[in-house]
Structure 1
């Protein structure tokens, strides 16, 4: 037994009893000076401590680089802000590019090149529906980390004797310093991973990029940390269970140490986090289960990392603080919205009572519309709120974009309107509640919606950023939506109504719905757009993908009078012919109009007809008189993927440099669900 303990003590190379001084090393154990071991062991220790010190410097350089990028980005946003939409309005005879000059043409050309090559999606089976720009940023980060993982390490092998055990040798290699290096990098990336996941995002505050745009990098940075931690663990398992002698005594004593127990716990938690974040697990257990488990497990994981190697808590403590600050700000913002601190007679936390309009749809999932007013500060077009339905669950909230725009209420009240499709989870329960408690207005065989009593809603937000901030007065607007994605683009059009009319500006809405009756979801907003269509040069084209004109005839007797009035009298919609020639007509950009079309092209089966987005976008671009174009889009993932390719193809940096504004086409899409 004494011999065993002696051999275990010998594997710890440093002899502290013979040291005359202890040399401190930040984030690592102190080194005994002078080294009294054999030459090979002393050389190995030199490499270990030198590579660790360099690794600490490299993590500092990593964070200094990130800080410099954010500093330059933030300063640049404030010194050179994008022109606002309420500034100079060009006259009819004014040549915009001549006034803007070569600098503006250069900016337009660079942005066109960027969209042309970086907007399409890349390696979808691996990265999902993600643009090339996001993938390029990820690959750059991976390359950066790969360099820091290997540089500054002396790669060599040392065969050293085990003290007091003749003929027994340790094999010491650079695997140890390298394993420590990737472990240090994994610790250093932890606060960045938390920053990328924040809803109350410091990164968004600095860069102006909405928090949801960082979800892709957060997810893949987590995968990088998993790989780094696994390599760190595998490396030290090889060292302690194979290269160090005698075995299995050394390995058994190593795994029983407290810091190793915490290391094993941290690795297990990280593996569970990884599995739960896969698309399979999210589909299997539900997004809410994943989200709650992710929060809890991530914090326990950071605590386990602290127990494993507390000398690097300089990375772990900020990660914990950032997490708690983010949650604290969320609670404060929700409290400020709902706590009535203005009226001394009715102070207290109050939810917003929302009226529910229920649109039954057994085939695709019921649609629910929420309408309520609440006193709080206005939000920007494109921002969204997280809604919690206490009647369903106090522990769930979901992001929804308001269909209304800020300032629509009176007496300081903000008008909120939301349209959501209830498929499963909390929204399905909400639709079921509405269906049970509603009083039907008509026979069940009709398509008329029913109206339910109010349900309490708790708001958190707004989140995201303005999507029209950089839109210039001469910019043409093309809004494309699929189904309930209409809530993302309608506020853009409602905001245009409040602006001055710009001659020759083209504005169009393309909305794909399954049924004719789906237009009832936003009847009030469509009525508003119809009344102002001539003033805003607005064209509205509604494509019905699951019904044809014969279906319309058969269903006429079953439609409600309210639906008929909306389609025939209120909107004065001319039902377009289903012929290809009619669909290919280009509307006059100077005259606003509404139309309902039933595409004849069949995609994906006889029952599903989708509009040809490539043709429609090209029609719109060809009909513009001047100015660049911005496409606002929200809908199914396949639609967004197609639009990214279409818009990328429509851009041309070379033609934009020559002065062709038509080839400077931007895309703003709702990417909250890419996570």
Structure 2
């Protein structure tokens, strides 16, 4: 619909000598031949709109400037930290007081910021979200609020209705304000799409993983809904109450095509908001919500185009970003699976994963997938989306590989562990159980060959950040995992094991799992770490939260899954044998880093400790003890597990950060947290 053909306001097109164009709005008839009050009102309307368009430019210029400064600062900081730091003794420094005044000031400021901004904000309102993200949302909301009101002349004009003596229209600045918030809702649509993209432009610029923007995407959607609602309510009040005579004016207004599209757009937006609430997702299921969200978003943008085509400058980029994101995903997946077929020709081929099915009726069955795939190495900390065509081609779930990528290798080994909960993971577990049972039946009928249970997998990725790239060689590392969250921290330890040993560096693993048999999930990787523990200076601490539920048939409580016992050559089941001595327990109040130790075959007693506790470990005690024992270097905590554990760790790590001590040169109190709290474990 052309702007010159829009019957806007009370303009008399037949008496106009010219049409004055206004970008993003209806053309204005000049000169104004209405009564003085109506002409003054039109001056306010068009001036407010023109300023609003300038303000949207300022908003996007501000966003672009922030991203530009962020990208430059990121590159500068990376170059500064890429150099190799000499040990304190070689550098002639006190091992407890290091760095220039500027470095110490920068680290102290970051430590203070983490102390107050790392913990969760109001969980009732925002869920498990850090104060940093809530602060960002608050700043953005305040910024948009300013531009929603500034530049509008607020007033009231009572004007006569032509050919109806004694009937008057009431014109106020409610109309210009409603237009302003409507324009801002259009202008923010591309940003909302960018914040939701998996192939994220924002991630390339900032280095933050795409999932870091999910919170802002969700709340920016709520802001757009609020702006759209204010726009709708404002014009309903104007057209259905302030303009006269009623109901004729209101009926003529609502029957216009652009208004019909406006109602449709508001309907789609309302449905999207309702379905995106926590109870809406629980009601429909995440997969239904996600697919419906895609469709409704595109329908909403199309309806917005029909409602006000003049603002398509904001809608077209939204569509382009959305389709580019989907196209890049498809191309990346196709390239990743374009390999040699069994026939020798090239084509698309699934990856065939070997299945290890670990039944657990009480807590949920666990599935381990292992396969090799020809591709480039990913980075430690990144994850892949796995699709299982034999179950559904419409669903893909994010999983972190627990295997270490090998650079310059033609083929990479993928290993994944996940617990079946409901939906797709439960169907995959059931399918894996059936495959494993058939494989066992075949194996029983074969004396020499082995029958493997396999599952077809489509891989898409990798996504996420390289969590060990900027890790200084003298940083002390504490890995904390809950349940299958072990898959996130194991590659970190395997990566450190492949690096040269750094003197005085402390490395510890704290794994909270339920039963002894859970060690079977990652037995090969634990065996590697066991062999490297002494050289690496690694201490591993396993907390069994449901040890009391172990069945009474276990004769030796010191036998853990993983490696055969030396005196049981005929055992078919793998076990790791531990020689256990009395240990300190967090449940008793003593430190888990003190007291007698536990030895593993081939490892000294100081390399591994196992705590059997009936309750979860005291994370505050664990983190504080680890920091206090460090001689030099800052502290890096890697964590993954249930949401409750991650929230508690944020609070604990925030409390341990001490900017005052960091300023004095005690780097160990500069404690940083990297966690994978997005994945559904």
Structures share fold, TM-score greater than 0.5:
yes
Match in the other structure for 2:600:
none
Query: C-alpha separation between the residues in 2 aligned to 1:653 and 1:130?
Result: 23
Match in the other structure for 1:5:
none
Q: CA deviation at 1:17?
A: 1.1
Match in the other structure for 1:604:
none
Match in the other structure for 2:3:
none
SS in 1 for 2:158: strand
Query: C-alpha separation between the residues in 1 aligned to 2:493 and 2:635?
Result: 14
The change in CA–CA distance for 1:172 and 1:392 in structure 2 (over 3 A counts) is same
Match in the other structure for 1:27:
24
Query: C-alpha separation between the residues in 2 aligned to 1:663 and 1:336?
Result: 45
Query: C-alpha separation between the residues in 2 aligned to 1:10 and 1:488?
Result: 60
1:639 and 2:645 correspond: yes
What's the RMSD between the two structures over aligned residues? Answer: 2.7
Matched ranges for 1:47-126 at <5 A? 47-81=44-78, 87-90=84-87, 92=89, 94=91, 95=93, 100-126=99-125
SS in 2 for 1:35: coil
Query: C-alpha separation between the residues in 2 aligned to 1:542 and 1:86?
Result: 35
The change in CA–CA distance for 1:554 and 1:113 in structure 2 (over 3 A counts) is same
| Contact 1:378 1:414 (C-alpha < 8 Å) held by counterparts | yes
| Contact 1:485 1:634 (C-alpha < 8 Å) held by counterparts | yes
Q: CA deviation at 1:440?
A: 8.2
| Contact 1:402 1:418 (C-alpha < 8 Å) held by counterparts | yes
1:475 and 2:475 correspond: yes
Query: C-alpha separation between the residues in 1 aligned to 2:7 and 2:337?
Result: 65
What TM-score, normalized by structure 2, do the two folds share? 0.91
Deviations 1:47-74 (A, max 9, x none): 0000000100110000000001111111
Q: CA deviation at 1:45?
A: 0.1
Q: CA deviation at 1:97?
A: 7.5
| Contact 1:82 1:470 (C-alpha < 8 Å) held by counterparts | no
SS in 2 for 1:100: coil
Query: C-alpha separation between the residues in 1 aligned to 2:630 and 2:205?
Result: 35
Match in the other structure for 2:229:
230
The change in CA–CA distance for 1:393 and 1:160 in structure 2 (over 3 A counts) is same
Q: CA deviation at 1:12?
A: 3.9
The change in CA–CA distance for 1:439 and 1:71 in structure 2 (over 3 A counts) is same
Match in the other structure for 1:323:
322
Match in the other structure for 2:457:
457
Deviations 1:433-471 (A, max 9, x none): 11122138999xxxxxx9961111111100011011221
SS in 2 for 1:572: strand
Match in the other structure for 2:611:
597
Query: C-alpha separation between the residues in 1 aligned to 2:558 and 2:296?
Result: 52
Matched ranges for 1:273-284 at <5 A? 273-284=272-283
Match in the other structure for 1:519:
519
Among candidates 582, 590, 594, match of residue 586 of structure 1: 594
The change in CA–CA distance for 1:98 and 1:655 in structure 2 (over 3 A counts) is closer
Match in the other structure for 1:432:
430
| Contact 1:403 1:416 (C-alpha < 8 Å) held by counterparts | yes
| Contact 1:574 1:594 (C-alpha < 8 Å) held by counterparts | no
Q: CA deviation at 1:173?
A: 0.4
Matched ranges for 1:139-538 at <5 A? 139-340=138-339, 345-407=344-406, 412-439=410-437, 453-538=453-538
The change in CA–CA distance for 1:388 and 1:342 in structure 2 (over 3 A counts) is closer
The change in CA–CA distance for 1:592 and 1:386 in structure 2 (over 3 A counts) is farther
Query: C-alpha separation between the residues in 2 aligned to 1:516 and 1:80?
Result: 44
Query: C-alpha separation between the residues in 2 aligned to 1:100 and 1:17?
Result: 77
Query: C-alpha separation between the residues in 1 aligned to 2:559 and 2:430?
Result: 23
Q: CA deviation at 1:572?
A: 3.5
Match in the other structure for 1:43:
40
Deviations 1:251-281 (A, max 9, x none): 1111111101100000000000001101111
Q: CA deviation at 1:588?
A: 10
Q: CA deviation at 1:622?
A: 1.4
| Contact 2:439 2:453 (C-alpha < 8 Å) held by counterparts | no
The change in CA–CA distance for 1:316 and 1:468 in structure 2 (over 3 A counts) is same
Give structure 1 stretches of 5+ with no counterpart.
1-8, 444-449, 601-608
Query: C-alpha separation between the residues in 1 aligned to 2:545 and 2:418?
Result: 19
| Contact 2:240 2:249 (C-alpha < 8 Å) held by counterparts | yes
The change in CA–CA distance for 1:309 and 1:592 in structure 2 (over 3 A counts) is farther
Query: C-alpha separation between the residues in 1 aligned to 2:215 and 2:437?
Result: 44
Query: C-alpha separation between the residues in 2 aligned to 1:250 and 1:573?
Result: 87
SS in 1 for 2:474: coil
Q: CA deviation at 1:86?
A: 7.7
Query: C-alpha separation between the residues in 2 aligned to 1:266 and 1:57?
Result: 25
What TM-score, normalized by structure 1, do the two folds share? 0.92
Among candidates 661, 668, 675, match of residue 674 of structure 2: 668
Q: CA deviation at 1:663?
A: 1.2
Match in the other structure for 1:17:
14
Deviations 1:160-185 (A, max 9, x none): 11111111111100000000000000
| Contact 2:21 2:27 (C-alpha < 8 Å) held by counterparts | yes
Q: How many residues align?
A: 651
Q: CA deviation at 1:83?
A: 5.0
Query: C-alpha separation between the residues in 2 aligned to 1:83 and 1:106?
Result: 15
Q: CA deviation at 1:87?
A: 2.7
| Contact 1:634 1:669 (C-alpha < 8 Å) held by counterparts | yes
| Contact 1:120 1:644 (C-alpha < 8 Å) held by counterparts | yes
Query: C-alpha separation between the residues in 1 aligned to 2:439 and 2:9?
Result: 82
Q: Is 588-597 or 355-364 further displaced after alignment?
A: 588-597
Q: CA deviation at 1:101?
A: 1.0
| Contact 1:11 1:244 (C-alpha < 8 Å) held by counterparts | no
Query: C-alpha separation between the residues in 2 aligned to 1:457 and 1:46?
Result: 63
| Contact 2:281 2:289 (C-alpha < 8 Å) held by counterparts | yes
Query: C-alpha separation between the residues in 1 aligned to 2:8 and 2:312?
Result: 27
Q: CA deviation at 1:551?
A: 4.1
Query: C-alpha separation between the residues in 2 aligned to 1:451 and 1:420?
Result: 23
| Contact 1:212 1:671 (C-alpha < 8 Å) held by counterparts | no
Match in the other structure for 2:626:
620
| Contact 2:558 2:579 (C-alpha < 8 Å) held by counterparts | no
